[in-house]
Amino acid sequence: MLAIALLVPVITRAQSAQFGPARVEIGAQAIGVATLESPAIHGRNLTEGYLTQPLLMAMASFWNNVVEVKGTLDLEGVTLKRGELNAGIAGEGYIDRRHPHTYLHELVITAQRRFGENGVSLALGKGFAPFGTDDPMVRPFEKYPINHHLAQILERAVAIGAINTRRVNLEAGLFNGDEPESPGDVPNRKRYWDSWSGRFTYVPFPQGELQASYARVRSPENATGGGADQRKQSASIRLEDAQRSGYGLLEWARTANYVGSSRTFAFTSLLAETWARYGLASGAVRLEMTERPDEARLVDEFRTPLPAPDLSIAGRSRWTIITVRVAAALPAAKGVSLDPFVEVARIRFSPTLKPSGFDPTEFYGSSRIWSVSLGAKLAFGMRHTRMGRYGAATAERRGMKMGEMKMDEMKMGDMKMDAPR
């Protein structure tokens, strides 16, 4: 946090710059948070503090967005090695803790061409496959929904083509199926393009969006291959007011595991969330009902074997979580935002496979968990408003955000500088 504070005076003087045909934007963010979970495990309460979501972001666009390079560095591998308390979440060898993301979270180059209100684009690099909804990192809540691995496919080597018209957007992509195994991991080159996904988006009016997507992912939990494949589905409705002061999201997602053509287990999620801002204050509510696999645990009971030794699970449980968030936007230095917040979640769970080798009530010591988080988000420079889309597929190209985003940047003191000739 000290390093960020020292950099603020430098970066706020140059959040964006014009260098001939190139426009360059930079930004950064970090969240300091303390979380209490009661109970967290075996009837014990845990209170922990983190520096989470420390990001450095940059975007360079050339020749009026004909070519665009977008990059995000995520330093959670340094600040979040043990994972972050996040009851119910599971993935990449962590359970009931959110895993740290890879250092190179995103680096994608996109070429695009506009034809009036229509456009086409091709994106290549490491980033998000065209599937599901926006990354939780750019949504209001600090705690991730536990459907993260059901509703998004991220940190893959991707090749994505997109076509959009005034109302319709089509995306199709190839990517490697294997999930990262550590913050320093990179996509397995032997697995490039073994998986695919497609997403259809309909925009009936500028603030409305209907999305449906499908993916086939080869052996995501075993980097060398040979694990269960996944067939994933997602559908969502998103509404936003014209002033960008609030939105609502309704999302359904389903992932089924397959061995060959035989389905083994399936996991379904239903999520609804809404956020609204009034002046400097904002509030958000999220309701989630998600099924997750209950896997065998290691000596560190917040970790699971990766890759799993076989294709079985100890059980399956349904988690129902209600999360409420209240935040404020405090005046800060030019171009800098400081948003203190509090989040409270009530969590209930029940087994959905019987008989089951895992009894969640016995393991946690209660049939419900309370989570309270208190923290503040420090950010400056560019923002990722809708992380997970590229080129012709971005909301800005469909007229939903760009003008408003630029206005926000101007209000925050975005300064343009011409490079010396």
Reading the chain (421 residues) residue by residue, the pLDDT tens digits are 444 444 444 444 447 787 778 899 999 999 999 999 999 999 999 999 999 999 999 999 999 889 999 999 999 999 999 999 999 999 999 999 999 999 999 999 999 999 988 999 999 999 999 999 999 999 999 999 999 999 999 999 999 999 999 999 999 999 999 999 999 999 999 999 999 999 999 999 989 999 999 999 999 999 988 899 999 999 999 999 988 899 999 999 999 999 999 999 999 999 999 999 999 999 999 999 999 999 889 999 999 998 888 888 888 999 999 999 999 999 777 778 999 999 999 999 999 887 777 888 999 999 999 999 999 999 988 877 778 899 999 855 444 443 333 334 334 334 333 433 3
Contact 111, 291 (CB under 8 A): no
pLDDT at 35: 98
User: What is the C-alpha to C-alpha distance for residues 192 and 159, in angstroms, rounded to an integer?
Assistant: 10
pLDDT at 340: 97
pLDDT at 306: 87
What is the enclosing helix (H) or strand (E) of 158?
A: strand 156-164
User: What is the C-alpha to C-alpha distance for residues 198 and 372, in angstroms, rounded to an integer?
Assistant: 37
pLDDT at 395: 57
Contact 127, 158 (CB under 8 A): yes
pLDDT at 398: 44
pLDDT at 333: 76
Where helices occur in 253-401 by DSSP H, the ranges are 360-364
Where helices occur in 112-198 by DSSP H, the ranges are 148-151
Which pTM does this prediction carry? 0.88
- Cα-trace Rg, the chain: 21
pLDDT at 153: 97
